[in-house]
């Protein structure tokens, strides 16, 4: 039996392909960056053909590095940037417009109109989401009104759908429950497209992909390889962190930071500004989660590098922050593309305050790390309130989780232990686990748990009153955003 699993991890700034063996060990990987397109202020786009090309290149090189061919691959897993929205011609497969990225804010006015029409509670109760430009539904509405008006024979999809269409030569038009749950169009309880929500957003249901469980066969590639595990990146990371029990939580530090908490077999309606979402589904059973998202996390470090030039590589942020003992009174609220949970303010903008003549680059670097961590404190507190239980630990992953100083700051301000696994690329790992389960390489979740392993634990060292004082200062800075 073939045992190698090929995972396509299609992210916001790059496409990565990682090949895993049946012990969950990465054999080889390759990463290909692609262009970020900013046509107007607040608009963010990707070229779908460039996404596809980056995936093909990453796959070719990863296979070469592993000294394997597609004939050696047992199955394919896909994990992807979630709310990014694509529309293509059903007959030719050609995109009708650039992909509108999850960070894009062009539909803020559409969301405001829907709110004024008192429709937000309907979307919250059915889809588990708030009305925000973040999600795919209003992006699709915009494309249909401004680009594809009157056109027939078109397909909508998030990135997973587009990749499956291309990989199968146009035979698969599908998505999984996690990606579908981020569109504003899927009913959380039925796991089906909701006719009423589609009607409100004027979206014809015949252009939507078929919704399938995250684990199981979606179809085959043109080479005959089964695609057997698909999930949005944050859901895949939750699975890759083996957060299989109610109350298990993880935070992924990527372009943004994304915290998910397992709520079990029923969706929990949030009263604290969090989202209710599908964690994953397998067969006829779904597991749900609460989610809180900060749109800018690692991207704040990239801005220090590219926008201000105070570091030449993102990895230099930790050493620079360590040149000072504290933030020197400087605070940075990295609301560079608005504020996500629990505020949901698309019009908020970044704030740096508390500057004096004594402020140094190190203070800004430290304030950046603290801002990244403090956003997550508010997310976790909101989730604890919704779930009505305190968490004892938080599993962490993603590129910035390798920053020990950030992880210690996070543990201090959260007041809980942060646990980093040996393999921090848990998004790809989760997609590999799902795909492997889908074809029987692993039989159950217990086999997955045996693979997951701890690298380092960060214990909170800050006393409660100090933590509360710092959080109040943060909240006052957020009000200025």
SS3 46: strand
**Confidence band of 477 (pLDDT split at 50, 70, 90):** confident
**Angle separating helix axes 108-116 and 136-146, nearest 10 degrees:** 110
Q: Which pLDDT belongs to residue 347? A: 81
CA 465 → CA 249, 411, 469, 470, distances in Å? 25, 15, 6, 9
| CA atoms of 330 and 186, how far apart (whole Å) | 43
Q: What average pLDDT does the segment 291-314 reach?
A: 86
Q: What average pLDDT does the segment 449-475 reach?
A: 88
Residues in the chain, total = 481
Q: Are 62 and 421 in contact (CB under 8 A)?
A: no
Q: Is the pLDDT of residue 141 over 70?
A: yes
Give the residue from 115, 113, 17, 117 showing the smallest Cα distance to 73: 17
Q: At residue 172, what are phi and psi to the nearest 5 degrees?
A: -110, 120
Q: Are 215 and 437 in contact (CB under 8 A)?
A: yes
Q: Is the pLDDT of residue 313 over 90?
A: no
- How do residues 264-285 score in pLDDT, each as one tens digit? 998 888 887 888 899 999 998 9
Q: Which pLDDT belongs to residue 356? A: 92
SS3 18: strand
Q: Are 185 and 197 in contact (CB under 8 A)?
A: yes
The kind and range of the H/E element at 33 are strand 26-33
Measure the N-to-C terminal CA separation of the chain; round to a whole number of Å: 56
- How do residues 414-446 score in pLDDT, each as one tens digit? 988 999 998 878 899 999 999 999 999 999 999
Residue with tokens 């680009």: 147
Chain-centre distance of CA 63, in angstroms?
Answer: 26
**Angle separating helix axes 404-414 and 361-387, nearest 10 degrees:** 50
Q: What average pLDDT does the segment 35-60 reach?
A: 94
CA 320 → CA 324, 351, 375, distances in Å? 8, 20, 21
| CA atoms of 195 and 185, how far apart (whole Å) | 8
What fold characterizes domain 4-234? Nucleotidyltransferase; domain 5 (3.30.420)
| CA atoms of 112 and 107, how far apart (whole Å) | 9
pTM of the model: 0.87
- How do residues 373-408 score in pLDDT, each as one tens digit? 998 888 888 888 888 888 878 999 888 888 899 999
Give the residue from 229, 341, 338 showing the smallest Cα distance to 276: 341
| CA atoms of 175 and 185, how far apart (whole Å) | 13
Q: Which pLDDT belongs to residue 1? A: 57
Q: Is the pLDDT of residue 294 over 90?
A: no
The kind and range of the H/E element at 287 are strand 285-294
């Amino acid at each position: 039996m073939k045992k190698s699993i090929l995972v396509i991890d299609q992210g916001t700034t790059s496409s990565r392909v990682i090949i895993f063996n049946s012990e969950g060990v990465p054999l080889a990987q390759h990463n290909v960056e692609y262009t970020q397109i900013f046509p107007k202020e607040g608009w963010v786009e990707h070229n779908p053909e460039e996404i596809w090309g980056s995936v093909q290149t990453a796959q070719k090189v990863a296979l070469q590095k592993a000294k394997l061919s597609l004939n050696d691959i047992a199955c394919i897993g896909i994990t992807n940037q979630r709310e990014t929205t694509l529309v293509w011609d059903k007959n030719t497969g050609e995109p009708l417009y650039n992909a509108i990225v999850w960070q894009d804010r062009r539909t803020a006015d559409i969301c405001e109109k829907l709110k004024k029409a008192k429709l937000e509670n309907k979307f919250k109760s059915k889809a588990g989401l708030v009305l925000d430009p973040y999600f795919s539904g209003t992006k699709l509405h915009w494309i249909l009104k401004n680009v594809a008006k009157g056109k027939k024979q078109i397909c909508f999809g998030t990135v997973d759908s587009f990749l499956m269409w291309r990989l199968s030569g146009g035979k698969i038009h599908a998505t999984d429950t996690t990606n579908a749950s981020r569109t504003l169009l899927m009913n959380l309880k039925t796991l089906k497209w909701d006719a009423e929500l589609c009607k409100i957003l004027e979206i014809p249901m015949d252009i939507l992909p078929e919704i399938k469980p995250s684990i199981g066969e979606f179809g085959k590639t043109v080479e005959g390889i089964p695609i057997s595990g698909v999930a949005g990146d944050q859901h895949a990371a939750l699975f890759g962190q083996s957060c299989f029990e109610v109350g298990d939580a993880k935070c992924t530090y990527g372009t943004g930071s994304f915290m998910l908490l397992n709520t079990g077999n029923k969706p929990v309606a949030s009263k604290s500004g969090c989202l209710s979402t599908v964690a994953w589904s397998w067969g006829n059973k779904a597991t749900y989660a609460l989610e809180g998202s900060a749109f800018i996390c690692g991207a704040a470090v990239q801005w220090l590098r590219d926008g201000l030039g105070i570091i030449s590589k993102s990895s230099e942020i930790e050493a620079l922050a360590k040149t000072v003992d504290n933030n020197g009174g400087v605070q940075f609220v990295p609301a560079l593309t608005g504020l996500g949970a629990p505020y949901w303010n698309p019009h908020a903008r970044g704030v740096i305050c508390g500057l004096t003549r004594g402020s140094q680059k190190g203070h800004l670097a430290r304030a950046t790390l603290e801002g990244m961590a403090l956003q997550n404190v508010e997310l976790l507190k909101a989730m604890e309130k919704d779930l009505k239980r305190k968490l004892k630990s938080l599993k962490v992953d993603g590129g910035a989780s390798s920053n020990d100083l950030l992880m210690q700051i996070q543990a201090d301000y959260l007041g809980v232990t942060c646990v980093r696994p040996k393999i921090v690329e848990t998004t790809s790992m989760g997609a590999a686990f799902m795909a492997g389960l889908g074809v029987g390489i692993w039989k159950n979740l217990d086999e997955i748990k045996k693979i997951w392993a701890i690298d380092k634990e960060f214990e909170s060292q800050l006393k409660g009153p100090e933590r509360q004082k710092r959080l109040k200062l943060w909240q006052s800075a957020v009000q200025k955003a």
